[in-house]
Amino acid sequence: MLILLAVGAPAARAAESGATGQDWPSYGGTALAWRYSGLDQVNTGNVKSLVPVWAFQTGDYADGLEATPIVVDGVMYISTASSWVIALDAAAGKLIWEYRYPGSNVRTSYGRQSRGVAVGQGHVLVGTFDNHLIALDQKTGRELWNVDVEPAKYCGCSITGAPLVVKDKVIAGVTGGDAAHRGYLSAFDIQTGRLKWRFYTIPGPGKPGHDTWPGDSWKFGGGSTWMTGSYDADLDLLYWGIGNASADFDSSRRQGANLYTASIVALNPDTGKLVWYNQLIPRDVWDFDAVFELILADLPWQGQQRKLLFQFNKSGYLWVLDRTNGKFLDAWPFVENSNWIKSVASTGELVGRNEPELGKTKLMCPSLMGGKSWNQASYSPQTGLMYVAAMEICADLTAQTEDVEPGASAFGGTFVMKPPPDGPSRGFLAAIDPQTGKRVWKHDEKYFLLASVLSTAGGLVFCGNPQGEFFALDARTGEELWSFQTGGGNRGSSVSYAVNGRQYIATPSGWGSLVGGAFGAAWPDAPLPRGGSSIFVFALPESSK
């Protein structure tokens, strides 16, 4: 029997808003980005019986498979590295339709990557590697509209993140934080593709915050929006994380706070107007984007129930904000090696900044790959814990001044991956108490984990590693209960859904991406993860449900 977890009244309301049920309708599960399934047919007592029930090869082997499968009404929608979109029968794996994006010959510095689609109002929406946003008919895959957001041959940008549907609009970010480019977030009419508003992450002349960019540095200041934001329907606020400033490691031409890079912003979704912002890292010189997932949860905080926003930041810190006004509440390190600052003050100010220096090589921890990558963390209202895949890798970083062309890469230095001072480079999955920052348990891995985390009402946490093992842990203890070899490195995002009363767990398989390509630099003597582009789907045997 398939049921939703029974919980107490306050937790029940939270689970109802942030947990998924039969479907997995959005990139983060719901617009609150918990990556938590309320299904419990598969649980700690029977997960060892989980078996593969179908698999599907996408046929696109350009750069692995990073996407989050979206499941609506028994149909799974998946995007591939080359911006193809595939619709499958979610119970049987049979192909319903396929859209192969013809694209262009434009090659951006970000390669070909796609982390998923959005589904809404009869449309399937996907961003492309050459910076188009496309709407397809949900039933047939027929192209309905195709918008060139900004010519990629000029800006060097692309859309790698999954779009987000909010009311009658579809909202899409753009890459460009590591290039001479001015970032933005765009909202389009979901029916016509017409641009409704655009929020520039770097203020132009006459706008508040423009004075944080000296001279013409604002024109090429980075500030990408390359991951997917969150939305609170009760507050009617759209939240988005903003990427690093450019050039990444050299701030000599951009002395100032560099708003709104490395910030979290709250926008009016109807107009794109800024409601509040919190700049986590002023004048970022480490490539520590604040662009990752924004987990929205209502929890007690110092004796009062509050509307909170959490981000496991690339810097290796977990930030906590009041999402009604952006007020800083606390920040804690979730990695074991961190020397870029000494601490975060009670005001949110960074204490003891350890900055790159022009022409001088310094060991920086975490590395520019971060304490975690874009792969999402998860929040379980059942345990009250958050689950994050973290990595312990440092880098010798040398800042230097470079002349760059508009749209071209602008790192402002060089870097070489190095192990941390306390031992070899490695990864782990940790359970974190979001109210104290304390680690409850840790599951160690020999290499970094670059797959998203899924938690479920069955008391389970799922993730996958570069060696191809997709595994399940006990959400309360971290004990490994089950694993399956997918044959390709795990780089995407697993999900759970149900069709006709049967719960399924689905995961992408196939190694890829720029950060994935750094595996050989961090572990030069280890076998490289295998590529591919497949979906594996698991369920309990019919007799054991």
Token pair 């906590």: residue:
320
Yes or no: say if 509 and 536 are a contact pair by the CB < 8 Å rule. Answer: yes
pLDDT digits (tens, 9 = 90+) for 71-115: 999 999 999 999 999 999 999 999 999 999 997 666 666 678 899
Q: What sign does the CA torsion over 458, 464, 468, 469 have?
A: negative
pLDDT score at 377: 98
Residue 241 CA neighbour count, 13 Å, CB half: 30
Look up residue 529 and give its DSSP letter. Answer: P
Q: Which residues pair with 55 in a beta bridge?
A: 536
Confidence of residue 403 (pLDDT cuts 50, 70, 90): confident
pLDDT score at 545: 55
The arithmetic mean of pLDDT across residues 412-420, rounded, is 93
Q: Which residues are catalytic?
A: 287
pLDDT score at 299: 96
pLDDT score at 408: 74
Token pair 């060696």: residue:
467
Q: Is the pLDDT of residue 16 over 80?
A: no
Give percent of the chain with pLDDT exceeding 90. 86
Lowest-confidence range among 179-188, 329-338, 501-510?
179-188
Residue 491 CA neighbour count, 13 Å, CB half: 29
Q: SS3 string of 356-419?
A: CEECEEEEECCCCCCCCCCCCCEEECCCCEEEEEEEECEEEEEECCCCCCCCCECCCEEEEEEC
Q: Can you tell me the distance from the alpha carbon of 348 to that of 320, in angstroms, rounded to the nearest whole number?
A: 10
Q: Is the pLDDT of residue 398 over 90?
A: yes
Domain range annotation of the chain? 9-487+504-544
pLDDT score at 106: 64
Give the three-class secondary structure for 498.
Answer: strand
The arithmetic mean of pLDDT across residues 218-228, rounded, is 94
Of 327, 211, 201, residue with least CA distance to 262 = 201
Q: Is the pLDDT of residue 5 over 80?
A: no
Give one word for 485, left, alpha or beta, with left for phi > 0 and alpha for psi -120 to 50: beta
Q: Is the pLDDT of residue 9 over 50?
A: no
pLDDT score at 11: 39
Confidence of residue 474 (pLDDT cuts 50, 70, 90): very high
Yes or no: say if 340 and 364 are a contact pair by the CB < 8 Å rule. Answer: yes
pLDDT score at 112: 83
Burial class from Cβ neighbours inside 10 Å (0-12, 13-18, 19+) for residue 514 reads middle
Confidence of residue 8 (pLDDT cuts 50, 70, 90): very low
Lowest-confidence range among 109-123, 210-224, 254-268, 369-383?
109-123
pLDDT digits (tens, 9 = 90+) for 263-321: 999 999 999 999 999 999 999 999 998 999 999 999 999 999 999 999 999 999 999 99
Element (H, E) at 311: strand 304-312
Q: What is the CATH number of domain 9-487+504-544?
A: 2.140.10.10
Q: Can you tell me the distance from the alpha carbon of 192 to that of 341, in angstroms, rounded to the nearest whole number?
A: 47
The arithmetic mean of pLDDT across residues 340-353, rounded, is 98
pLDDT score at 108: 63
Mean pLDDT score across all residues of the chain:
93
Of 229, 344, 237, 228, residue with least CA distance to 282 = 344
Lowest-confidence range among 138-152, 176-190, 322-336?
176-190
Q: SS3 string of 403-439?
A: CCCCCCECCCEEEEEECCCCCCCEEEEEEECCCCCCE
Contacts 24+ apart (CB under 8 A), 301-306: 301/329, 301/435, 305/10
Give percent of the chain with pLDDT exceeding 70. 95
Tokens of 519: 């595996």
pLDDT score at 516: 86
Q: What sign does the CA torsion over 269, 272, 278, 284 have?
A: positive
pLDDT digits (tens, 9 = 90+) for 476-491: 999 999 999 999 999 9
